[in-house]
Amino acid sequence: MALLPIITAPDPRLKTVADPVAVVDGEIRKLVDDMYDTMYDAPGIGLAAVQVGVMKRVLVMDVIGKNAKEGDPQPHALINPEITWVSDHDSTYEEGCLSVPQHYAEVVRPAEVKVKYLDVDGQEQELEADGLLATCVQHEIDHLDGILFVDHISALKRNMILRKLLKIKKQAS
């Protein structure tokens, strides 16, 4: 397993729409394993392949976490995920992102979703999610579509966050 470098905004790759995975093979399974290691190490609860520079429709998530006291880890790997249903009612969560470090904002999203996807064996699956899991899967699918959580907040707040991140990047180089 390997830790992968996480891309941070305002990197243009984060605005790229990821390509579908043609076949779930050993390369994709290794990517999933490396993404889990990277997500847990960060630490985070979700990670899309785009965030590690791989433009494929792959994401991993675990809203419980590897070292959580609330229960056993509940890792999910979704390949070519597609939201097939959303609830009429919304929920609001304060979201953060490994690609937008140290910044958080309240985002309104559908409270429940159904997602069809391929698992690491290439088998079609369906996930019904609510609460934090629903928010997380929508957040990660957004990454695969070139959308960041800051795209769901006001332009004023978004621009302020992106300017701060750009300033940090310039100071680091």
Q: Which residues are catalytic?
A: 140
- Verify cis geometry, omega within 30 degrees of 0, for the bond prior to 43: yes
- Structure tokens, 49: 């392949």
- Rounded Cα–Cα distance for residues 52 and 62 (Å): 17
Give the C-alpha separation, 33 to 39, whole Å. 10
Q: Which helix (H) or strand (E) holds 112?
A: strand 112-118
Q: Which pairing describes strands 46-48 and 100-110: parallel, antiparallel, or unpaired?
A: unpaired
Amino acid at 49: A
